Structure 1
Amino acid sequence: MIRKASLLLVGALIGGATITALSQMPLRVSGVANAAASDTYRQLNLFGDVFERVRSDYVEVPDDAALIESAINGMLSSLDPHSSYLSPKHFRDMQVQTRGEFGGLGIEVTMEDGLVKVVTPIDDTPAYKAGVLPGDLITHLDGEQIQGLTLSEAVDKMRGPINTGIELTIRRENVAEPVKLTITRDIIRIKSVRFREEGDVGYLRVTQFNEQTYDGLKDGMDEIAKKIGSDKLKGFVLDLRNNPGGLLDQAIAVSDAFLQRGEIVSTRGRNADETQRYNARSGDLANGKPVIVLINGGSASASEIVAGALQDHRRATVLGTRSFGKGSVQTIVPLGANGAIRLTTARYYTPSGVSIQAKGITPDIEVLQELPEELRASGAETKGEAGLRGHLQGEGEEQSGSQAYVPPDPKDDAQLKLALDLLNGVQANSAFPPVGDQKAAVPN
């Protein structure tokens, strides 16, 4: 039996899917398996007993569908922070988001200790303009506590008609008083690639990996080369800071845009025969020009695939601060009219065979930003995947925080400034250009 599913590499409530076929494993029957199955059936009977007791004796008549949905959510959320149930509505919403347009505030979120935790605000959205920061914990919506709500319920409350306002009460690390922000809802149109010329250097900002990302990147590179001139173009800055991830196929396509050959990424499930490897095809859109990739503590998942592939192949120098460390693959399994489940099914590995789960990509050149006065106490840091309760364990986990701040004014952006100085030859660093450009990494 073949089932259709979707690989999703991203934090909660973002992204969409590339369709892939997964073969069901044959059922193996043994005495041990029979005993385990018998025990499982006893546990399912226990669930049925509790469900019937709640239906018959609870002080108010419960909603059967809501009970079942909550039970499924509880089962999946107990596995790791990225597995969850998607109701039919939320499944449709996810598909719309994947196409790059949806309604809301413009923040990527997950749930931590009963509160909504901001992974990152999306560039040029109401949340971004209002000053929402990665790592913020949202405690109240319009004065009502979030504690006790599921992530889906909290997100539903944040969504609503455009041009209507909502007040977010935020707990910010090392800030004594709660921060209150009033944000006006709007249609969030995600233009996932923005570009401009910085003198003779091309600047490419990728905010997430949706269905338009590769085409947007290619158009941007073509436009930059046309305006600057291929002979004068000194190289590219690929900015993946605070990019929470998105579609696996788009991460592979963006990596492939700069690589001539070799492995880009592999995904490995719990069974050896589930390993899949994705390789580059001939053709470098940058025509061998130098590339510097910018990352920080808000760069997650698909962003880390790109940074890891270009770093391992010595095709680019990675600059900034350590990335988020989300090295797991989520498969979207449709359930017909009943929505879908998002289930963690594999870990992904960089070309050299390294898993960055709960560890992140370490930049070749570390550069911290100068923080404004109001952010110095918190350090504008995120603890990344290792800071999420119930995360999959990773080898060599990194528990310390990583800075995730990008100044709104490029003139104050120390990471971008150094990248441009290196490409223009104003400054030098032993990590740029990388030695052994494009030599294929050997998987472990």
Structure 2
Amino acid sequence: MRRNFAFLLGTVTGACLTLLVTGPQGASLVAAAKAAARSDAYTQLNLFGNVFERIKTSYVEKPDDSKLMEGAINGMISALDPHSRYMNEKGWSDMQETTHGEFGGLGIEVTMEDGLVKVVTPIDETPAAKAGILSGDVITQIDDEQIQGMTLEQAVSRMKGPANSKIRLKVARKGSAAPIDIAIVREIIRVRPVRYKTDSGDIGYIRITRFNEQTTDGLKKAIASISKEIPADKLAGYVIDLRNNPGGLLDQAVSVSSAFMTRGEVVSTRGRTSEETQRFTARGGDITKGKPLVVLINGGSASASEIVAGALRDHKRATLIGTRTFGKGSVQTIIPLGAGNGALALTTARYFTPSGRSIQAQGIAPDVEVLQEVPDELKNRSELKGEASMRGHLAADGAEQAGSQAWVPPNDKDDKALNAAFNLLRGVTVNANAPTAAKRAVPN
């Protein structure tokens, strides 16, 4: 990474200088600018070394060198954006468990905000969801230990643990005057990323809760099962529910999108180097054979969910119903740092939909906005403002920033967005703003 950084910095500096001076003299100035940049970097590294040595020799107690270095790395990365992070060996192992879809813990997706751990979403049918953890809850204590000062990886590590072990969380919740104590018993979290059902014998409903290594296989099995339950001539279409899906693996987002597309671009990534600038296209063909699609989205739909929603909308393949998505449109590349040293999750690019629209800090707006009414007893108890509200987030790349509505799972009969989707697939008018022409379409 140092080599790439130095090359790009030199290129930018040189481009600026050639506006003023050309020829041999200009080349000399470019070389001088590069040397100055390297010299400045070495000066900063010398400063770091001096501080490190002063702490080692003068601190009131003998410090742990490895803890000092890990703290320095975390401090450096925290100056970048909310999603770049360093994982020590245990944190790296825990992340691999999560992407495989099985781990011991509570079942929540969290992020770090203002030095505290904020819940993005509880995973369906897990201890956290059953205990009443909500999107927007801020976890302030774990077993009487303050989270303030911990890294995200440290907090997550404390929340994980053996099945049947107990944990107590203290959460701050908007609308609640006092912190809320929640006792939870850990379980083995086997994340089943896809669930399905049929409605009235004519619509297939598929809920995708996250994008892990099992998601595409689960989707294909769900579609195959629905096809057996509902004859093709009676199947009005599919509802794909991505609400509160926090995302996951890029390759799974591409393959899920491919399951509904015959061809075309799914998503592109654009970064500082050619390695981070790529286009991903649909492969495998539409396994639904062109059946109508409605995709449900909301403020908890992030990252991979937004890739799928954006691709299907841009290709005129689906109508989006719900509220604006979270706006997490950045790519994190996992860089292993060698045996025993963990890994670096570094933001290296932004996601763009097939029409060239950035997802970052603006999200995906629905074609048909449907606001879900929150029960009186849950009003003001959850809040999820989206990527644009997070301190240090990447810029929206010139796009409009907007907030998102948090989501409390309703019963089917009270689920306005789901009922709107059913009505749309059955040909019932839902909203005067429902799209009749593909104004945003890109070629298939």
Using the aligned pairs only, state the percent identity.
60
Please list, as runs of the form range in 1=range in 2, the aligned pairs for 1:46-65 lying within 5 A after superposition: 46-65=47-66
Deviation by residue 1:3-35 (Cα, 9 ceiling, x = unmatched): 9xxxxxxxxxxxxxxxxxxx9689568221111
Alignment correspondent of 1:435: 437
Task: Note if contact 2:298-2:404 (Cα within 8 Å) is conserved in structure 1.
Answer: no
User: Within 5 A, what are the aligned runs for 1:226-305?
Assistant: 226-271=228-273, 274-281=276-283, 283-305=285-307
Could you say what secondary structure the match of 1:381 adopts? Answer: coil
Aligned residue number for residue 348 of structure 1 = 351
| Contact in 1 for aligned 2:325/2:404 (Cα 8 Å) | no
What's the counterpart of residue 79 of structure 1?
A: 80
**Quick check: 1:212 aligned with 2:220?**
no
CA contact (8 A) 1:316 1:434 kept: no
Q: What SS class does the counterpart of residue 245 from structure 1 fall into?
A: coil
1:180 is matched with which residue?
Answer: 181
1:148, distance to aligned residue in structure 2 (A)? 1.6
- Structure 1 residue ranges without an equivalent (≥5): 4-22
Does the CA-based 8 Å contact 1:317-1:434 persist in structure 2? Answer: no
* Equivalent position amino acid for 2:301 in 1: S
Counterpart for residue 14 of structure 2: none
The answer as to whether partners of 2:420 and 2:430 remain within 8 angstroms in 1 is no
Aligned pair 1:134/2:146, yes or no?
A: no
Q: Is the 8 A contact 1:196 1:202 kept in 2?
A: yes
CA distance in structure 2 between the aligned counterparts of 1:51 and 1:271, rounded to whole angstroms? 33
Instruction: Give the whole-Å Cα distance in 1 for the aligned partners of 2:156 and 2:284.
Output: 43
Once the two structures are TM-superposed, the CA of residue 370 in structure 1 deviates from its matched residue by 1.7
Quote the RMSD (CA, aligned, Å).
Answer: 2.1
3-state SS of 2:391 partner: coil
What does the per-residue CA deviation read over 1:174-218, in whole Å, with 9 as the maximum and x for residues that have no partner? 322222211111111011111111121101110110111111101
1:223 matches 2:228 = no
Q: Structure 1, residues 400-430: CA drift from partner, whole Å, max 9, x if none?
A: 34232222x2222111111112212344445
Q: 1:371 aligns with which of 356, 371, 374?
A: 374
Q: TM-score, normalised by structure 2?
A: 0.90
Structure 2: state its 5+ residue gaps.
11-29
Task: Give the 3-state SS of the residue equivalent to 1:382 in structure 2.
Answer: coil
1:262 deviation in Å? 1.6
> Which SS does the other structure have where 1:348 is aligned?
strand
Counterpart of 2:203 in structure 1 is 201
Mark the structure with the bigger radius of gyration: 2
Per-residue CA deviation, residues 353-382 of structure 1 (Å, 9 max, x unaligned), is 00021111000111111211122234x431
> 1:369 touches 1:406 (CA, 8 Å); kept in 2?
no
Q: Residue by residue, what CA displacement relative to the aligned partner does 1:128-160 show, whole Å, maximum 9, x if unpaired?
A: 111111111111112222112121221122122
* Larger RCO (CA within 8 A; separation ≥ 6): 1
Distance between the aligned counterparts of 1:441 and 1:243, measured in 2?
A: 28
Summarize the alignment of residues 354-393 of structure 1 with structure 2, pairs less than 5 Å apart: 354-378=357-381, 380-393=382-395
Change (3 A) 1:396 1:204: same
TM-score (norm 1): 0.90
Task: Kindly provide the CA deviation profile for residues 278-320 of structure 1, in whole angstroms up to 9, marking residues without a partner as x.
Answer: 1123621111111000011000000000000011111100001
Mark the CA change 1:441 to 1:120 in structure 2 (over 3 Å): closer, same or farther. Answer: farther
**Offset of 1:431 from its aligned partner?**
5.8
Which sits farther off after the overlay, 310-319 or 274-283? 274-283
- Is contact 1:297–1:381 with CA below 8 Å preserved after alignment? no
Residue 334 of structure 1 deviates from its aligned partner by 0.6
Partner of residue 9, structure 1: none
Equivalent position amino acid for 1:357 in 2: Q
Q: Structure 2: how far apart are the matches of 1:253 and 1:302?
A: 11
- Report the structure, 1 or 2, having the larger helix content: 2
Query: How many aligned residue pairs are there?
Result: 419
Counterpart-to-counterpart distance in 2, 1:275 and 1:350? 13
